Amino acid sequence: MINKTQQNTHTGGPKVLFFGRDNCDGTQKALQFLNYAGFDVSYVESKGLGQGLPDWVRDWQGEYIFCFRSYFILDQAMIDAASVAAINFHPGPPEYPGSGCINFALYERADQYGVTAHLINTKVDNGTIIRALRFPILPKDGLRSVLARTHLYLYHLLQEVIGGVAAGGETYLADQIKASGDEAWCGEARRMKELSAMQQLPVDIDAEEFERRLHSMHLPEYPLHVVLHGRKFALLGEAYDA
């Protein structure tokens, strides 16, 4: 059982501070895997943007921080609390740092997508790359299908990296970083406001641009919309996969 408010009572294994997400199957599987691998885990659950860190987290010290689909952005003092490494699992390849990366990949008609494990610094999706995995975007793929595969690959990457850390520690990380030496982030990290701007449609949008945004930017829970005379009109229903 993982305690969300204080360190576990496990002894002997490296101490890990794990940042996960509420209501996330991958987070629960990751916690189980961390325990299986012998780590002493403290868990921090995130539920949305703007959430403050629990007070106890600032007193934590250990060997590793792992972030998996977490909303928290860590400052330097928090990063430094991990004596070996602070690692993030980013749901996008190095070509797409930041937020809304799946959306922009589909909008730009990329032929592949992926996930990235990297060291954390104070910039978003900017630290040294440990490992990246990629998969093809298929002709019939839409936002939901690419998102589903991304989550599968992200958990696979977590297992690979955390398993390597459990077996080889700092040596594994150094070797993996060297092996990924050709990987590099491309451009500045996207921000949520950029995605939000694309989800608001101009009233004179043409058919081709509408289809591109429908395919890449629309989900019923985050719909495309127009604003007319100060009123917002949202598109209902699912976008088709094309």
Return the domain boundaries, the chain: 15-179, 200-234
User: Can you tell me the mean pLDDT for 111-133?
Assistant: 94
Contacts of 191 (CB under 8 A, 6+ apart): 98, 99
For 63-111, what is each residue's pLDDT tens digit? 999 999 999 889 999 999 999 999 999 999 999 999 999 999 999 999 9
The pTM score is 0.89
Q: CATH number of the domain at 15-179, out of 3.40.50.170, 3.30.1380.10, 1.10.3730.10, 3.20.20.140?
A: 3.40.50.170
Q: What gap in Å lies between CA 92 and CA 199, rounded to an integer?
A: 20
pLDDT at 188: 86
CA distances in angstroms from 161 to 30, 101, 222, listed in the order given: 11, 22, 32
User: Which tokens hold the place of 233?
Assistant: 């009109």
Give the position of tokens 């305690």. 3
Q: Are 69 and 21 in contact (CB under 8 A)?
A: yes
- Return the bridge partners of 90, or none: 116
Q: What gap in Å lies between CA 16 and CA 65, rounded to an integer?
A: 6
For 163-202, what is each residue's pLDDT tens digit? 999 999 999 999 999 999 999 999 888 998 999 999 999 9
| Sign of the Cα pseudo-torsion (112, 221, 227, 193, in order) | negative
CA distances in angstroms from 83 to 65, 78, 79, listed in the order given: 9, 11, 9
- Of 234 and 50, the structure prediction assigns the larger pLDDT to 234
pLDDT at 96: 95
Measured between its terminal Cα atoms, the distance across the chain in Å is 43
Q: What gap in Å lies between CA 242 and CA 224, rounded to an integer?
A: 17
SS (H, E, C) the chain: CCCCCCCCCCCCCCEEEEEEECCCHHHHHHHHHHHHCCCEEEEEEECCCCCCCCHHHHHCCEEEEEEECCCCCCCHHHHCCEEEEEEEEECCCCCCCECCHHHHHHHCCCCEEEEEEEECCCCCCCCCEEEEEEEECCCCCCHHHHHHHHHHHHHHHHHHHHHHHHHHHHHHHHHHHHHCCCCCCCCCCECHHHHHHHHECCCCCCHHHHHHHHHHHCECCECCEEEECCEEEECCCCCCCC
Of the candidates 179, 225, 175, 183, the residue with the CA atom closest to the CA atom of residue 200:
225
pLDDT at 54: 87
Q: What gap in Å lies between CA 231 and CA 50, rounded to an integer?
A: 26
Q: Which of 123-127, 145-149, 226-230 has the lowest mean pLDDT?
A: 123-127
pLDDT at 12: 66
